[in-house]
Amino acid sequence: MPQRPSSLPPSRRLPLALLLCGALFLLQQQPAAAAPSGTNSKTAKNSKSPKSTQQAKPAKPKAKTTAKAKAGQARKQALAAPVETCPPAAKPPSPEALQAAQARASDRGLLWRLSKDGRQAYLYGSIHVGKLDWAIPGPKLAAALQDSDMLALELDPADPAVQQQMSAGLSLRRLEPDAPLRQRLDRHEAKACLPKGSLATIPHPLMQAFTLTLVEARREGLDPAYAQEQVLSGMAHSVQRPVVSLETVELQLDALLPREPAEAMEATSELLDLLEQGKARPVLKRLAEAWERSDLDTLANYEQWCECARNAAERAQLQRLNDARNPHLAERIDALIQAGHRPFAAVGALHMTGPQALPRLLEQRGYQLERLQ
């Protein structure tokens, strides 16, 4: 596999990798963040000074508290604390902001040109969150898009059939969290400034936890509204360029959502643990920064720093979510090229890593790969 970019001529702990795969689904499911609510009436009422005529009651002796109880109390206090600021949601950019972003346009992500028997195509490692600047293609990406005749995504988020199948698939997998998990999700919902009850409209608790994590990612300036799939799909549809899905909704849901209810509840709880421990944001931030720098080496070492591959079970889950899907993706890309198309195939950047990395699988199918970015 080529290591140096070349020029392009003009023309059981829940792995966070699973979160980034699930982000695409949430583009259609995610509720919008509510405006900051400030101090609620109950807090304001309790903050009033006591009347001068009132006498302070003698304090009761404090009971001994175990370390476990203290940890539980601390978590409840942290979740119940008034929210001072809300994660900023993406807003439609002004003409001036768009013009400035265009002036700063540069290439990001991972880009290869594929060649075989006189045919060529492009392979692009994308990311499922983004920023306004990332929505503007750099010169190499723009040239590759112009040179292709079709956009191929894991799933096309703008396809009404995909949206319908996703809604039906989630409904079939509907799962109600137990009371403690529901209360925990509700506390996170309030902390994230989401409209009360909005999470409960999502049929699966793990997808609700995905939503919370994506809202948290907004605090790092990362928003699913600027996901590469969303941006590329919008561009292609606007110029009536064909867009195809490389996978099926059923395949992705099977990879993301555990079939066993107990396993799904445990995965949801573990993702909430990551949020409460402050571990989700740093991993997402590091992943996004590596993608922005086109840093394949850091992405390839994801298991060393993601805190999601510490034992055999976690590594097996990562393999199921990433490597196990790649042979089908390679087969679909190959079929499109053999049918005479010049596809621009964009899939998550982590699919470019590991023993079953997409570039490696395509080389095994006889393609020459040239690293462009």
Q: How far is CA 98 from the centre of its chain?
A: 24
Write down the pLDDT at residue 66. 57
Q: pLDDT value at position 68?
A: 52
What is the SS3 string spanning the chain?
CCCCCCCCCCCCCCCHHHHHHHHHHHHHHCCCCCCCCCCCHHHHHHCCCCCCCCCCCCCCCCCCCCHHHHHHHHHHHHHHCCCCCCCCCCCCCCHHHHHHHHHCCCCCCEEEEEEECCEEEEEEEECCCECCHHHCCCHHHHHHHHHCCEEEECCCCCCHHHHHHHHHHHHHCCCCCCHHHHHHHHHHHHHCCCCCCCHHHCCCHHHHHHHHHHHHHHHHCCEHHHCHHHHHHHHHHHCCCCEEECCCHHHHHHHHCCCCHHHHHHHHHHHHHHHHCCCHHHHHHHHHHHHHCCCHHHHHCHHHHCCCCCCHHHHHHHHHHCHHHHHHHHHHHHHHHHCCCCEEEEEEHHHHCCCCCHHHHHHHCCCEEEECC
Residues in the chain, total: 373
* 210's tokens: 């995905």
Confidence (pLDDT) at 43: 36
Where do we find the tokens 């002796």? 61
pLDDT of residue 180: 95
Separation CA 303–CA 311 (nearest Å): 11
Give residue 160's pLDDT: 96
Digits of tens for pLDDT over the chain (373 positions)? 444 444 433 333 334 444 444 433 443 434 333 333 333 333 333 433 333 334 434 444 444 455 555 555 655 554 554 445 887 878 888 899 989 999 999 999 999 999 999 999 999 999 988 999 999 999 999 999 999 999 999 999 999 999 999 999 999 999 999 999 999 999 999 998 899 999 999 999 999 998 998 888 898 999 988 999 999 999 999 999 999 999 999 999 988 888 899 988 988 998 899 899 998 899 999 999 999 999 999 999 998 888 777 777 677 777 888 889 999 999 999 999 999 999 999 999 999 998 899 999 999 999 999 999 9
Domain locations in the chain as residue ranges: 16-30+100-371
